Chain A
Amino acid sequence: MSTVAAEAQNDYRVADISLAKWGRQEIEIAHTEMPGLMALREEYGKDQPLKGARIAGCLHMTIQTAVLIETLAELGAEIRWSSCNIFSTQDQAAAAIAEAGIPVFAWKGETEEEYWWCIEQTIKGPNGWTPNMILDDGGDLTAVMHDKYPEILAECKGISEETTTGVHRLYEMARKGELKVPAINVNDSVTKSKFDNLYGCRESLVDSIKRATDVMVAGKIAVVAGFGDVGKGSAQSLRALSAQVWVTEADPICALQAAMEGYKVVTMDEAVEHADIFVTATGNYNVITHDHMKRMKDQAIVCNIGHFDNEIDVESLKQYTWENIKPQVDHVVFPDGKKIILLAEGRLVNLGCGTGHPSFVMSNSFTNQTLAQIELWNNHGKYENDVYVLPKKLDEKVAALHLKKIGANLTTLTKEQAEYIGVTPEGPFKPEWYRY
């Protein structure tokens, strides 16, 4: 068993360490597309504002995340990492990070049990290593820390949370008084949700559907369930390829927004028999039910771009025959012989079937993450056990760091102009409640 034993000795677990060189090359390309993070390295590299921070991170182990991890490391943090989705790891990215000496536990295609195992590895390291900071996406790590390791959690100074679903869980915990650590809601930085969720999905949704099925999108009827930021981006990209896009919404404001954008607003019940492509982006569950899928057309494509895998009732499909066409692409055969194409088993399609969001948009999110970690680590005394968003000044800073790269020139207000609208020339430029 010596080969097995040797493998277990490494303080990381990835699919194949020999992919590290490839991963490193991709990381270097990503550097040029992630100006926000690179600027933070330059700005804070000397001061080491994360010195002493031991971060347990749980976020899709992609190339972009690798740049985030190494930025945190360059600012002085010790890090252990896992992926927050069983399919979202890019094995070459994980390999490169492992080779750089950062313990990472992630591979594409984990089982549910392996997923939790990976998270546990980030909570307890060799020589009694435990985290004192949490960086989370979806709230699973936060939940494990609260439920299983309260004594380790007591040492933690803060949590920064990446995504809508995780933030939702944090607010729930705070409301019930169960949140034991101050948390920063990175998701609701304008430069996160209005960019990553919207412009990220706008590029990665259709890319992943194409990679998985090569389907001609033009002329098809595509249903987007949910018209939040993710739904808006998804709908726009499908329309850009000339699909007829229908939208389902429960919120009348978002429904009206969809209608004003020219999308037909329907219920899923009305749409199922007509549409060719189904995309869920609601953050809710059972949005596409067994009954819906039973009534769908033959070869309908069904996928989810919301964080969790319960938007589509995949469990109900387990009773039928599955024909695996290629990784993350399955034919589900109904008793009458009809087949639907299910992508990534109903999990995040843009990470399961594609390569996730482009680096540039992730640089926005991850610059927020890094600033949130710096803020919590250095100023945790200022915060109660509640959920906060980053100050608008920092939000604007994140955006500013990205402008130069794309050749955008910012107009500077004169003192008089600034006074005229009641701001300073350096900002912040908008009141807290402004919706962008």
Chain B
Amino acid sequence: MTDDTKRYQGGGERHGGPARTSPYPVSRLAGPIDLVDVAKQIQEADKLLSTRANSKLRVIADQIRSLQEEAKGVLEEAQRDQDLHRARCNFERRPGKIYHLYRKADDSLYFSMLSPADWNGEPPDTYVDSYRLEADMSWTPVADLERPDDNAELIQRLLEAHRDDD
């Protein structure tokens, strides 16, 4: 039978149960560890863990940041589209058609069916931009209409690479 009770002299709460369940060393054969070490280890572990978590979180944070940016972009676009929809327009706008935005002297915006070219470059009000109304009621600036689609190209490349692997 081992003398389980001798060594520990320290204070603190006493363990009343069997030694094997004691949170502190209760045997001569036990290693020289005490609560301070535990605390240290926990601290160390915490540090390691937090580093690990940090790096994981950083990935998430990065993702959040990029999502936030994307969200901001979406919101800004929505805001712009909303603003565009609020611009004065007397005719019924039809998806797929291109309309031309002008600014009046009093700073109000309005849509016109006529492009600056129709006015021989001399429209009665300041020309802002031309937009195509999409089926989802969003607006695409005409400059973007003919810009090559980056994603489409990337996807195309990936697909081709995949085919080459086969």
Known: A3-B132, A3-B142, A3-B145. A8 touches B115 (CB 8 A): yes
Q: Is the CB of B90 within 8 A of A111?
A: yes
B96-131 with Cβ < 8 A to chain A:
97-98, 110, 112-115, 117-119, 124-125, 130
Q: Is the CB of A327 within 8 A of B146?
A: no
Whether B166 sits at the interface, judged by CB under 8 Å, is: no
Query: Which residues does chain B contribute within 8 Å of A108, judged by CB atoms?
Result: 90-92
A84-137 with Cβ < 8 A to chain B:
86-87, 91, 107-111, 113-114, 117
Query: Which residues does chain A contribute within 8 Å of B124, judged by CB atoms?
Result: 113
Whether B87 sits at the interface, judged by CB under 8 Å, is: no
Q: In angstroms, how far is the closest chain B Cβ from the Cβ of A369?
A: 27
Whether A16 sits at the interface, judged by CB under 8 Å, is: yes
Whether B89 sits at the interface, judged by CB under 8 Å, is: yes
Q: In angstroms, how far is the closest chain A Cβ from the Cβ of B131?
A: 11
- Complex formed: what's the CA distance from A8 to B100 in Å? 13
Q: Is the CB of A15 within 8 A of B92?
A: yes
Q: Is the CB of B130 within 8 A of A4?
A: yes
- Complex formed: what's the CA distance from A7 to B98 in Å? 9
Whether A192 sits at the interface, judged by CB under 8 Å, is: no
Whether B47 sits at the interface, judged by CB under 8 Å, is: no
How many A-B pairs with Cβ below 8 Å?
A: 56
Interface residues on B, range: 20 to 34
Whether B58 sits at the interface, judged by CB under 8 Å, is: no
Closest Cβ neighbor of B90 among chain A residues: A109
Known: A15-B94, A109-B89, A113-B124. A4 touches B110 (CB 8 A): no
- Complex formed: what's the CA distance from A86 to B88 in Å? 15
Q: Is the CB of B142 within 8 A of A1?
A: yes
Q: Is the CB of B90 within 8 A of A86?
A: yes
Q: Is the CB of A110 within 8 A of B91?
A: yes
- Complex formed: what's the CA distance from A15 to B146 in Å? 23
Q: In angstroms, how far is the closest chain B Cβ from the Cβ of A406?
A: 35
Q: Is the CB of B112 within 8 A of A114?
A: yes
Q: Is the CB of B90 within 8 A of A110?
A: yes
Selected from A5, A15, A111, the residue in CB contact (under 8 A) with B112 is: A111
Closest Cβ neighbor of B94 among chain A residues: A16
Q: Is the CB of B91 within 8 A of A15?
A: yes
Query: Which residues does chain A contribute within 8 Å of B142, judged by CB atoms?
Result: 1, 3-4
Q: A87-B90, A107-B113, A117-B119 are in contact. List 13 more A-B contacts (CB 8 A).
A: A4-B117, A4-B142, A8-B117, A13-B113, A15-B91, A15-B97, A16-B94, A86-B90, A107-B91, A108-B92, A109-B92, A110-B91, A111-B90
A-B pairs with lowest CB-CB distance, top 6: A109-B90, A109-B91, A113-B124, A16-B94, A4-B115, A107-B91
Chain A residues with CB under 8 Å of chain B are 1-5, 7-8, 13, 15-16, 86-87, 91, 107-111, 113-114, 117, 327
